[in-house]
Amino acid sequence: MAIKIRLARAGSKKRPYYHIVVADARAPRDGRVIERIGSYNPMLTKDDEKRIVLDTERAQHWVSIGAQPTERVERFLDAAGLVKRTERNNPNKAKPGAKALERLEEKKAAEEAAKAAAEAPAEEAPAEEAGAE
């Protein structure tokens, strides 16, 4: 049985509140849990002590047994000093997507066309004036 330490959503619409729970990985997000070991209230300020309430003793017990924390819970456990979280690096995160690149190319092509159109009449106009004299 795969055991996860994860967040179970509570609270009302647009007012999230999460319970930090130990549950079977196959159980639904807000379904049957083995144990509740804390809570997380993202609506509170980051320096509020009640934002994350965690029973560190029970969390350490479940981690030692082999329960796998989710990424968000792993951050909480790392802040509490129970687990060492490895930094993740996603070099492609800042790169624009395919459609954004396509729009950029279209924009460059339109700018070049406008620039070429602006230069063409400027070259023709002096030739016409010279012929009129």
Give the model confidence (pLDDT) of 28-54 as tens digits: 888 898 999 999 999 999 999 999 999
* Residue 33 maps to a domain: yes
Q: Residue 4 carries which side chain, given as an amino acid letter?
A: K
Q: What's the pLDDT tens digit per position in 50-69?
A: 999 999 999 999 999 999 99
Q: What total of structural domains would you count in the chain?
A: 2
Same domain flag for 65 and 99? no
Domain that holds residue 43: 3-80
Same domain flag for 68 and 118? no
Residue 98 burial by Cβ neighbours in a 10 Å radius (0-12, 13-18, 19+): exposed
* Residue 125 maps to a domain: yes
* Residue 89 maps to a domain: no
pLDDT of 133 strictly over 60: no
Taking the C-alpha atoms of residue 74 and residue 48, their distance in angstroms, rounded to an integer, is 19
Band (pLDDT 50/70/90 cuts) for residue 95 is confident
pTM of the predicted model over 0.85: no
Taking the C-alpha atoms of residue 53 and residue 7, their distance in angstroms, rounded to an integer, is 12
Same domain flag for 10 and 60? yes
List b or e across 11-43, with b for residues whose CB sees 16 or more CB atoms inside 10 angstroms.
Answer: eeeeeebbbbbbbeeeeeeeeeebbebbbbbee
